[in-house]
Chains A and B, each alone.
Chain A
Amino acid sequence: MERTCWEELDFQYQEPSSEYIEEELAKIEEQLREFCALIDIEFEKLRVNAKTLKDIIIRLDMRGLYFHIYHKKMEANEYKRNIGLLVFWILKLRPFWIDIQQEDSDEQIELATYINEKICLHIILSLLREYNSNFFEYGKDLVKAYVNELEYSLRYRDLSKESMFLLFDPFYYLYFYNQSTQEDGTTII
């Protein structure tokens, strides 16, 4: 029996408007400026393929549509969207680079080589600072060890979108736990 019901559908995906694309590009630029200021590199040294960034914005929009249709109008939470999707696509499509110069130090060459991973790490850490700030109170050594392991995983391990959804789910639930816990340790729920 043929699946003829789909023939009745008259839906074609529409890309977001150019205004939306440019708004999202501006947000990415703002995040990158924070990144460059943090690690003391000139923003002008960071090169970007804008077409690839537009492609990434569209991929996120498409997945948003998928969630809306197949998961009952669900809107992805911040961890799914910015880590599971945005970080995933940056690692896959690698829109950023830094030209390596003859006089560059080993550290500068390292930074240029891992630039996409480091930008992704900054996105992840920024989100954790916003919603899970107590993560950074677990001790400097522990935080460094976790972040170094995460950077290795971003570079060399097979990380699907869904595995990253799952990896950062605990942080999402911890946010609500911290919001709901009262002084005596009991939860509001």
Chain B
Amino acid sequence: MGERKAMFNMNMEMVRKQCNAGFMHCDNNTPIVRGETLEPCIRGAKKISADPNLKKLIKEVLTGSDK
């Protein structure tokens, strides 16, 4: 079988040109602080508990006592 000459109504040169163009897209949102896992949530939780007004608000929403 000979080499393919065309595909999708394009010659192989055009097919290969398109395939080789550009770069692979990647996600790259880096962390605010590297190397942490749940630490920011723990810090945030302690800050919630240390603030009487915020603690009351979050407690109301989590326990449904605002409904």
Binding site for B on A (CB under 8 A): 24, 27-28, 30-31, 34-35, 37-40, 60, 67, 70-72, 74-78, 80-82, 86, 107, 110-111, 118, 121-123, 125-131, 133, 136, 140, 143-144, 147-148, 151, 169, 172, 175
A71 to B55, CA, bound (A): 39
Give the interface SS of chain B, mostly helix, strand, loop or mixed: helix
Across the A-B interface, the 6 shortest Cβ-Cβ residue pairs: A130-B44, A126-B44, A34-B45, A129-B44, A126-B45, A27-B38
CB pair A67–B27 under 8 Å, yes or no, is: yes
CB of B58 closer than 8 Å to a CB of A: yes
Cβ contact of A72, chosen from B26, B45, B64, cutoff 8 A: B26
A111 to B59, CA, bound (A): 12
What are 22 inter-chain pairs, A to B, with CB distance below 8 A? A27-B39, A38-B45, A39-B63, A40-B59, A67-B27, A70-B26, A71-B26, A71-B27, A75-B31, A76-B29, A77-B29, A77-B32, A78-B32, A123-B38, A127-B44, A129-B48, A130-B40, A130-B44, A131-B40, A136-B57, A148-B61, A175-B32
A81 partner residues in chain B, CB cutoff 8 A? 31, 37
B40 partner residues in chain A, CB cutoff 8 A? 78, 82, 126-127, 130-131
CB of B9 closer than 8 Å to a CB of A: no
Are A30 and B42 also in contact (CB < 8 A) when A77-B32, A125-B58, A136-B54 are? yes
* Interface contact tally, CB-CB below 8 A: 125
Give the number of chain B interface residues (Cβ < 8 Å).
Answer: 36
A135 to B43, CA, bound (A): 16
B18 partner residues in chain A, CB cutoff 8 A? none
A76 to B29, CA, bound (A): 7
CB of B20 closer than 8 Å to a CB of A: no
A111 partner residues in chain B, CB cutoff 8 A? 63-64
CB pair B31–A82 under 8 Å, yes or no, is: no
Determine the residue in chain B with the shortest Cβ distance to A20.
Answer: B37
CB pair A143–B45 under 8 Å, yes or no, is: no
A122 partner residues in chain B, CB cutoff 8 A? 45, 58, 62
Determine the residue in chain B with the shortest Cβ distance to A41.
Answer: B63
